[in-house]
């Protein structure tokens, strides 16, 4: 492949669907139809301008149809990685390439930085990363402050092995991966600036023709605007998720006579579900779970205030869970009159394995043991902030040695997509099916329940609510 080659011209590849609308050719005139095969002919027949215009219109319709279908597929993506992959596929179809990659590096340095390949495995991408950055087209596009010479917005290398001064490592990697030409374009917007670069690879010396290059330029400009919006959404989700994770306890306390484990997953919009476990005087333990209405940063902030307040109320009067929730309800009504919340607080005495709890519109705990798996009976009560004055009686129950109490938020039930009764039945069946060896570990119990109730995973199930599960096993 070291000998120079005449570059091929790449056009629109077959994966691009044919246009749905075409212009029918104009039927031949009687004079033209009657002309004998060897008779006189005119180099420019009278209807030549009309045929040329029809061909031009048909080309425009074909291009618009192609771009419409490709941009529709891009608009259906709902994640940054999926959109980058779709951009690569569409660009490869337009310029007639088989493989490519996107190097995503937002100019503002806030990330996320990633590399997405098309037709390239992880090992192939690793080989490409060993090539000096300034020798790769994407490096030139990303690292040249003033842009390409002449103000161009693309970089065509039709025959790598015919270039003088090709980087030796680039030559070696290109020969290993079997590509001989490349076509690269920047990904940038006026508002967001440079976001990344896309590059497509040809197996043989080639370059895209003028029409496909024009189409891919139009498509990439639209795609980059879509990617910029997805980037902002991705950053917001990451910010809310980080904030949510930091506001919840990273480590659970060690209390004699009880083992603790917690599982929580933030929904895509970032909600207000929370949990807490705190040591109390007289070797007692306070357990709490709750959920704030709404989603996003405002709901997370409200959740943080309620959780911090509940800790203070639990230290002052934790032996009376009703008083704890009454104080919390008063605080919510005075400071967040437009919001409501559900909460459950349990005052545990590990030495006696006795639990006293009160709930405000919250789902009942689930008791999992060797001889029983049952929901704890709690009084029916309204959520916090719904009534002028909240109050409900507390409930007390006795746990046996080796039993685990599961506290959870409603997101676990909602993500099943079932009705309330069926969701409770699924949760009960999941807890009852925990294998005996796993029941000694509250973390294993929580993982088994989550995997059974949500078999498709937390990210694939219906709904985007938070899921919180707090497990306490009494020794």
Share of the chain above pLDDT 70, in %: 84
> Lowest mean pLDDT: which of 43-57, 228-242, 335-349, 385-399?
43-57
Question: Could you tell me the domains of the chain?
Answer: 57-238 (3.30.450.40), 248-474 (3.60.40.10)
Model pLDDT, residue 148: 56
Model pLDDT, residue 441: 95
Model pLDDT, residue 144: 79
Model pLDDT, residue 33: 40
pTM of the model: 0.60
pLDDT tens digit string along 225-255? 999 999 998 888 787 777 766 777 778 999 9
Among 40-44, 180-184, 409-413, top mean pLDDT goes to 180-184
- pLDDT higher than threshold 90 for residue 353: yes
Model pLDDT, residue 267: 67
Model pLDDT, residue 22: 35
Average pLDDT over residues 13-38: 42
Model pLDDT, residue 264: 85
pLDDT tens digit string along 445-467? 999 999 999 876 554 444 567 88
Model pLDDT, residue 355: 96
- pLDDT higher than threshold 60 for residue 356: yes
Q: What separation in angstroms does the CA of 46 have from each of 34, 41, 51, 113?
A: 15, 11, 10, 59
Q: What is the mean pLDDT of the chain?
A: 84
């Amino acid at each position: 492949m070291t000998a120079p080659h005449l570059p091929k011209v790449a056009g629109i590849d077959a994966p691009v669907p044919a246009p749905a609308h075409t212009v029918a050719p104009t039927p031949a005139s009687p004079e033209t139809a009657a002309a004998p095969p060897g008779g006189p002919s005119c180099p420019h027949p009278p209807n030549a301008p009309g045929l040329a215009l029809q061909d031009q219109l048909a080309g425009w319709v074909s291009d618009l149809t192609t771009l419409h279908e490709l941009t529709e597929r891009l608009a259906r993506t709902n994640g940054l990685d999926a959109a980058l992959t779709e951009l690569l596929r569409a660009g490869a179809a337009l310029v007639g390439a088989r493989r490519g990659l996107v190097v995503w590096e937002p100019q503002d340095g806030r990330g996320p930085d990633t590399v997405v390949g098309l037709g390239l495995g992880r090992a192939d991408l690793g080989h490409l990363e060993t090539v000096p950055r300034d020798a790769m087209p994407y490096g030139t596009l990303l690292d040249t402050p003033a842009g390409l010479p002449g103000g161009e917005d693309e970089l065509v290398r039709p025959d790598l092995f015919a270039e003088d001064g090709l980087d030796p490592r680039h030559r070696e990697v290109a020969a290993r991966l079997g590509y001989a030409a490349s076509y690269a374009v920047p990904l940038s917007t006026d508002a967001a600036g440079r976001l990344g670069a896309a590059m497509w690879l040809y197996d043989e010396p080639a370059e895209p023709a003028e029409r496909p290059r024009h189409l891919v330029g139009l498509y990439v400009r639209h795609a980059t605007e879509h990617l910029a919006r997805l980037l902002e959404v991705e950053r917001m989700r990451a910010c809310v998720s980080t904030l949510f994770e930091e506001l919840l306890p990273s480590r659970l306390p060690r209390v004699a006579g009880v083992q603790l484990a917690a599982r929580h997953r933030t929904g895509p919009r970032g909600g207000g579900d929370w949990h807490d476990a705190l040591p109390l005087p007289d070797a007692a333990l306070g357990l709490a779970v709750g959920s704030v209405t709404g989603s996003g940063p405002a709901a997370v902030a409200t959740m943080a205030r309620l959780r911090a307040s509940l800790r203070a109320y639990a230290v002052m009067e934790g032996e009376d869970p009703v008083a704890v929730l009454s104080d919390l309800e008063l605080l919510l009504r005075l400071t967040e009159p437009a919001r409501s919340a559900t909460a459950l607080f349990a005052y545990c005495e590990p030495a006696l394995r006795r639990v006293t709890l009160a709930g405000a519109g919250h789902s009942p705990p689930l008791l999992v043991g060797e001889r029983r798996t049952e929901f704890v009976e709690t009084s029916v009560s309204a959520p916090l902030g719904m009534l002028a004055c909240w109050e409900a009686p507390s409930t007390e129950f006795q746990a046996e040695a080796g039993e685990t109490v599961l506290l959870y938020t409603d997101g676990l039930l909602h993500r099943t997509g079932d009705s309330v009764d069926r969701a409770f039945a699924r949760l009960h069946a999941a807890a009852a099916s925990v294998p005996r060896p796993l029941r000694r570990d509250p973390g294993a119990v929580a993982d088994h329940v989550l995997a059974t109730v949500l078999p498709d995973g937390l990210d694939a199930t219906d709904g985007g609510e938070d899921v919180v599960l707090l497990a306490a096993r009494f020794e």
